[in-house]
């Protein structure tokens, strides 16, 4: 079994596409720590926060043709959903959030024929 490649390791980690790769990787991080068995929630939040910080730094260092990750931060929060399951949510700094919203708006635009 092979571990999936992180987005910042890919040759196409550039420009706005780097943001899309980052979102996929961030989802991977929060899902992993939210579902990790045998650890207290506080420990998993701490671990998820460390992983998110490391991921953001890796994107800042490796993503090309973008400054979206420079000087930004993420805060990991946990909550229990209506099914009693713990979920982790990344809270993005305002600069990173703005870049992600711009990407979302572009992806929602449709071409009219």
Q: Identify the CA nearest to 72 among candidates 51, 62, 57.
A: 57
Alpha helices (runs of H) in the chain, residue ranges in sequence order: 15-34, 41-62, 94-108
Residue 1 pLDDT class (50, 70, 90 cuts): low
pTM here? 0.88
Domain boundaries along the sequence of the chain: 13-105
Question: How far apart, in whole angstroms, are the C-alpha atoms of residue 67 and residue 12?
Answer: 15
Question: How far apart, in whole angstroms, are the C-alpha atoms of residue 80 and residue 78?
Answer: 7
The string of pLDDT tens digits covering residues 45-54 is 999 999 999 9
Q: Identify the CA nearest to 65 among candidates 30, 6, 17, 33.
A: 17
């Amino acid at each position: 079994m092979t571990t999936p490649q992180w987005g910042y390791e890919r040759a196409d980690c550039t420009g706005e596409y780097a943001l899309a790769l980052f979102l996929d990787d961030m989802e991977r991080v929060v899902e992993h720590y939210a579902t990790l068995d045998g650890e207290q929630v506080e420990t998993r939040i701490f671990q998820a926060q460390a992983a998110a910080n490391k991921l953001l730094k890796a994107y800042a260092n490796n993503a090309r043709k973008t400054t979206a990750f420079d000087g930004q931060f993420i805060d990991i929060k946990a909550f229990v959903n209506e099914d009693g399951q713990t979920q982790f949510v990344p809270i993005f700094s305002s600069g990173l959030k703005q870049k992600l919203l711009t990407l979302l708006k572009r992806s929602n635009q449709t071409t009219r024929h």
